[in-house]
Chains A and B, each alone.
Chain A
């Protein structure tokens, strides 16, 4: 049973560039959430996608956008990168209306903005 996968594992960008991160959910899951985790902090919720629509959004600017595809995979796009966007980006999948809607995380994408 494949777990949550993310690509790429590492990425280096410069300020002002744009980046796209990708996530494939755990088999059988239909909901994908994205988190940003700065060093020494807990994950911060960016947004959640269900049925190809953004269902909820955290306190992140519009530079952060996403998409969910019919096969439930998802992308996170960040425009006009800032130095402060350097972080570990985590994707988590869950089964909507499942028991407790427990979220299972992928290994993350480490983004460094220079």
Chain B
């Protein structure tokens, strides 16, 4: 059974204070790992897809990396508007159906 663990559950940062979010996963035959951002009461917003260990992708202040067992979402010099829940979701097999973690709730204080 696919398993996903995100840590920490919650993270409070000061504006400009860089940090990383962790996603540990156990899936059979990783086909892709997805990162989403979700604001309260809204649908998840797609950020990145990573396909193989060693791959990195960047978007503004966010950078996602992937190893065989973990993915990290690095946030550089965050701003208050980066406050949201960040969801990690690896997909296995031929289905590309992602299994979502519980997310990391990020709050960035001005």
5 contacts between A and B (CB under 8 A): A6-B43, A56-B95, A56-B97, A90-B44, A105-B43
Q: A106-B43, A108-B42, A108-B43 are in contact. Are A100 and B100 (CB under 8 A)?
A: no
Q: Which of A42, A58, A106 is close to B89, meaning CB atoms less than 8 Å apart?
A: A42
Interface string of A65-88 (1 = CB under 8 A from B): 000000000000000000000001
Residue on A nearest B93 in the bound complex, by CB:
A56
Judge whether A7 is part of the interface by a CB distance below 8 angstroms.
no
Complex: chain A residue closest to B91, CB-CB = A101
Binding site for B on A (CB under 8 A): 4, 6, 33, 35, 40-45, 48, 56, 58, 88, 90, 94, 100-108, 110
One of A40, A48, A100 near B51 (C-beta < 8 A): A100
Which one, A4, A42, A45, A48, contacts B102 given CB within 8 A?
A42
Question: Is B110 positioned at the interface, with any CB of A under 8 Å from its CB?
Answer: no
Q: Decide if A40 touches B41 in the complex (CB within 8 Å).
A: no
A4: which B residues are within 8 A, CB to CB?
43
Q: Which chain A positions have C-beta within 8 A of B101?
A: 42
Known A-B contacts A100-B32, A102-B49, A103-B98; the reply to A43 vs B44 at CB < 8 A is yes
State whether A33 touches B97 (Cβ < 8 A). yes
- Separation of A43 and B42 alpha carbons in the complex (Å): 12
Check A40–B42 contact: CB distance below 8 A. no
Chain A residue with Cβ nearest B98 = A103
Residues of A with C-beta under 8 A to B103: 42
With a 10 A CB-CB cut-off, give which of B44, B46, B99, B101 has the most chain A CB atoms: B44
Contact A43 B100 (CB under 8 A): yes
Residues in B neighbouring A108, C-beta threshold 8 A: 41-43
Q: Are B102 and A105 in contact (CB under 8 A)?
A: no
